Amino acid sequence: MVARSSEVRPTAVRHSASPKAGGRRGRGAGRLAGLGLGAGAALVLLTGCDVGAAFDGFGWPQGGISAESRRMYDLWIASCIAALAVGVFVWGLIFWCIIRYRKRGNELPVQTRFNMPMEFLYTIAPILIVSVLFYYTAVVQTDVEKRTPNPDVVVEIVAFKWNWQFNYRDGLGKDANTVASVLGTSEVIPVLVLPTNRSIRFEETSKDVIHSFWVPELLFKRDVFPGKIRNEFEISELVTEGAYVGRCAELCGSYHAFMNFELRVVSPEEYEQFLAAKRGGRSTQEALQSIGEDPYATTTRPFETRRTESNFNNAAGTPAGAGR
Ligand SMILES: [Cu+2]
């Protein structure tokens, strides 16, 4: 007679050494493998369609305009899908255990301590998951960081309190020559014009303190250091034309928040025309107009800094910042 009554074996631990229990364990393992395969197949199918857009990018900013930003976005979406697949699998197991092994009496269910295959799975599965995530992260990071020997466009970013200068260069490094330049002022936001479909090297340097060059749509920012350091990065191509606000992302002083610029992405032909106009002595605004672009920034505006003498140590008691 099977001991089911609490009167007979109130604290009995039923061992799973019987052939019947072994068969049940075999079926359980088969079910687990089936679930794992199903989750894997779902993952492959889901990554084939634009799941990210349907779920608002899982919190990741959408609308990246460089090839690199799109690869980072894809990595994020794939990681989220993998995390969700693991989550659904684990939640499924938890709820299945809660229902399947809910208390039906005082008898303990089958105990699976020292189940070596199971413990091996617990150990190896997380290592495999982390290894796959690490591999793809390393691949994308290397791709984002890569630099080519002959980029199509080289632009020097010069940051200073509290504006930007963009120098179009005829080669790499500090010894190359500037062929055209865009300089921001308190009244005019500097517009950095760049082409689609071209590789672009950015070489950054600062005149004073540490700044940070940031265009949110590139999903990338890089610190700009003073001194001899030329901080560099490269994008393989810009894919979407348009106007995008750029900012300083490093607290660099009182007017840090006013240190905006605009990235204007145009076609390669328009870019060449813009550069030719600049080289011909036209102002940035005239050169922009000559290619049919808005002469002034459209995504941000100059900020009134109110930097006048009366801001500093004035005896009249005018609050600092009141200015003119
Ligand atoms: Cu700054």
C-alpha 251 to ligand 1 mean position (Å)? 6
Q: Is the dihedral of CA 230, 235, 240, 241 positive or negative?
A: positive
CA of 166 to the centre of ligand 1 (A): 14
Ligand 1 centroid–CA 62 distance in Å is 25
Q: Which long-range contacts (CB under 8 A, 24 or more apart) does 85-89 make?
A: 85/39, 85/40, 85/42, 85/43, 86/39, 86/129, 88/39, 89/35, 89/36, 89/39
Q: What pTM does this model have?
A: 0.74
Please state the φ and ψ torsions of residue 224, each to the nearest 5 degrees: -110, 115
Could you report the average pLDDT of every consecutive run of 10 residues in the chain (324 residues)? 38 42 51 57 55 80 90 92 93 92 82 82 92 96 94 96 94 93 92 96 95 94 93 95 95 90 97 95 95 94 70 49 40
Residue 134, amino acid: F
Cα 248 to ligand 1 centre (Å): 5
Listed in sequence order, the residues at least 6 apart from 256 whose beta carbon sits closer than 8 Å to its beta carbon are: 162, 248, 250
> Ligand 1 centre and the CA of 138: distance in Å?
30
Q: How far is the CA of 156 from the centre of ligand 1 (A)?
A: 16
Instruction: Please tell me the distance between residue 161's alpha carbon and the centre of ligand 1 in angstroms.
Output: 6
**CB-count exposure of residue 211 (10 Å: 0-12, 13-18, 19+):** buried
- Distance between Cα 25 and ligand 1 center (Å): 63
Look at residue 189 in the predicted model and tell me its pLDDT: 95
Distance 41 CA to ligand 1 centre (A): 48
> What's the token pair of residue 163?
């504006």
Distance CA 6, CA 194 (A): 80
pLDDT at 111: 76
Q: How far is the CA of 116 from the centre of ligand 1 (A)?
A: 58
CA of 275 to the centre of ligand 1 (A): 26
Phi and psi of 122, rounded to 5°? -55, -35
pLDDT for res 188: 92
In this structure, are strands 261-266 and 191-195 parallel, antiparallel, or unpaired? parallel
- Output the CA 226–ligand 1 centroid distance in Å: 11
Query: 298 CA distance to ligand 1 centroid (A)?
Result: 21
Bin 197: left if φ > 0, else alpha if -120 < ψ < 50, else beta.
left
Residue 153 pairs in a beta bridge with 200
Question: What distance in angstroms lies between residue 266's CA and the mean position of ligand 1's atoms?
Answer: 26
pLDDT of 119 = 87
* Ligand 1 mean position, distance from CA 59 (Å): 27
Distance 224 CA to ligand 1 centre (A): 9
> Measured in angstroms, how far is the CA atom of residue 159 from the centroid of ligand 1?
7
Instruction: Give the model's pLDDT for residue 47.
Output: 53
Separation of CA 262 and ligand 1 centre (Å): 15
The strand pair at 153-160 and 200-206 is best described as parallel
Give 295 Cα–ligand 1 centroid separation in angstroms. Answer: 24
